[in-house]
Amino acid sequence: MTETNKDVEALEAHFKAARARPLAPPDALLARVLADAEAVQATPAPVRTVPRRGWRPVLRAIGGWPAAAGLLAATLAGVWIGASPPEGISAYLPGADVAYIIDLAPGTGLDLVEGAL
Amino acid sequence: MALDAMSDIPDDALLVLFANGDRAAARALTLRLTPRVLAHAHRLLGDRAEAEEVAQEAMLRLWRVAPEWRQGEAKVTTWLYRVVANLCTDRLRKRRAVGLDAAPVLADQALGPDAAMQGTARAEALHAALARLPARQRQAVVLRHLEDLGNPEIAEIMETSVEAVESLIARGKRALSADLSGRREELGIVDD
């Protein structure tokens, strides 16, 4: 549909009439709006606080940064030993089906029994 | 501060005064902004009672946001028009959900002989036709031709581009013209 000048003028007559007749606020509405405003003013604004992060209390509980560093080092050492045990320590770790008896001082047992010491 | 002395103070400065507990600022903002908010809500909804509820809610949101308002960043009226539009959209959606959307919400009355009545009838015919437009076209046409805002501000309110606003207004006006063309003679808009 092509818009003609007549269409534009006719529509403008409607707009002009509507602009001249806005819905005026009744006094009761103004009173309610003002009452809301005063109620908000009477309420103290919430104080903005930075939310306390969850790890800070934990850090304080274990004794601060030095304690946390020690704990971390011990944890890492434990993980490292678990993942790649040094050769000497593997004998003390539980095997699947093999048991070892290690005599740390062969020969002394007999002497003890006989009271030769 | 006296109310008269506040007439030259911009909205955002008044809002800062309001946040600082100034009761005269509360009164000045209420009297200055409520009529605009109400008129806009009425033009979008076409229902007086609902428009009053929306106006009160929009103003309440303004009071609550006041302590965080940063002066000079946004126009208070732009923010309010957007809040009103969102509240109206929610209500129009609820109306559709209960099947009330089809009913013209403003009286579409026959014209009397008096010129004032003619003006009222033209306005009412326009409101009835606006109510039949898609919501975005209605909002754009109302902001441009009834609230008298520029397209860049309308784009900001509607959170879209200026080109999209131009298109919405053009389509809305074409639809309004087609809708109202049959009533020109009755409304005293005579074709030459």
Q: What is the pLDDT of residue B135?
A: 92
Establish if A47 touches chain B: CB-CB under 8 angstroms.
Answer: no
pLDDT band at B72 (very low <50, low <70, confident <90, very high): confident
pLDDT of residue B102 exceeding 50: no
What is the rounded distance in angstroms from the CA atom of residue B172 to the CA atom of residue B169? 5
pLDDT band at B99 (very low <50, low <70, confident <90, very high): low
Given B68, B103, B138, the domain boundary residue is B103
Kindly state whether residues B83 and B119 are assigned to the same domain.
no
Structure tokens at B66: 């006041």
Q: Which residue of B has its CA nearest to A19?
A: B146
What angle do helix axes B162-180 and A5-19 make, rounded to 10 degrees? 100
Structure tokens at B14: 């008044």
- Provide the shortest C-alpha distance from residue B93 to chain A (in Å): 23
Kindly state whether residues B81 and B117 are assigned to the same domain.
no
Kindly state whether residues B95 and B123 are assigned to the same domain.
no
Establish if A112 touches chain B: CB-CB under 8 angstroms.
Answer: no
Given B103, B133, B154, the domain boundary residue is B103
| Amino acid (1-letter code) at residue B29 | L
Q: What is the pLDDT of residue B181?
A: 84
Kindly state whether residues B110 and B47 are assigned to the same domain.
no
Exposure of A92 by Cβ count < 10 A (0-12 exposed, 13-18 middle, 19+ buried)?
exposed
Kindly state whether residues B133 and B75 are assigned to the same domain.
no
Owning domain of residue B52: 1-103
Reported ipTM:
0.82
Q: What is the pLDDT of residue A66?
A: 82
CATH number at residue B115: 1.10.10.10
Residues of chain B with C-beta less than 8 angstroms from the C-beta of A10: 177, 180-181, 184, 189
What is the rounded distance in angstroms from the CA atom of residue B131 to the CA atom of residue B122? 14
- B23 lies in some domain: yes
Q: Which residue of B has its CA nearest to A2?
A: B174
pLDDT digits (tens, 9 = 90+) for B116-129: 788 888 898 999 99
Residues in chain A with pLDDT values less than 50: 1, 115-117
Average pLDDT of every residue of chain B: 86
**Alpha-carbon torsion (B159, B34, B73, A39), positive or negative:** negative
Q: What is the pLDDT of residue A62?
A: 77
Structure tokens at B139: 């909002």
Q: Worst-scoring range by mean pLDDT, A80-84, A106-110, B7-11, B55-59?
A: A106-110
Establish if A22 touches chain B: CB-CB under 8 angstroms.
Answer: yes
Q: What is the pLDDT of residue B109?
A: 44
Q: What is the pLDDT of residue A110?
A: 54
Please choose, from the candidates B110, B77, B31, B10, the residue with its C-alpha nearest in 3D space to the C-alpha of residue A24: B31
Q: Output the CA–CA distances (angstroms, integers) from residue B78 to B7, B12, B62, B83, in the order listed.
A: 19, 11, 12, 9
What is the rounded distance in angstroms from the CA atom of residue B58 to the CA atom of residue B54? 6
Q: What is the pLDDT of residue B108?
A: 41
Residue B91 host element (H or E): helix B76-97
pLDDT of residue B59 exceeding 80: yes
Greater confidence, B146 or B183?
A: B146
Q: What is the pLDDT of residue B74?
A: 83
Q: Cβ contact (<8 Å) for A22 and B35?
A: yes
**Alpha-carbon torsion (B155, B178, B185, B121), positive or negative:** negative
Query: A73-83: string of b/e by CB count within 10 Å (b at 16+)?
Result: eeeeeeeeeee
Please choose, from the candidates B159, B166, B161, B167, the residue with its C-alpha nearest in 3D space to the C-alpha of residue B79: B159
Kindly state whether residues B7 and B95 are assigned to the same domain.
yes
Greater confidence, B31 or A96?
A: B31
Greater confidence, B76 or A77?
A: B76
> How many structural domains is chain B composed of?
2
Q: Which residue of A has its CA nearest to B121?
A: A17
| DSSP 8-state secondary structure symbol assigned to residue B191 | -
Phi, psi of B126 (to 5 degrees): -65, -45
- B192 lies in some domain: no
CB count within 10 Å of CB B129 equals 24
Q: What is the pLDDT of residue A4?
A: 73
Q: Cβ contact (<8 Å) for A14 and B176?
A: yes
Q: What is the pLDDT of residue B111?
A: 45
Q: What is the pLDDT of residue A29?
A: 97
A24 in helix, strand or coil?
Answer: coil
Average pLDDT over residues B127-139: 93
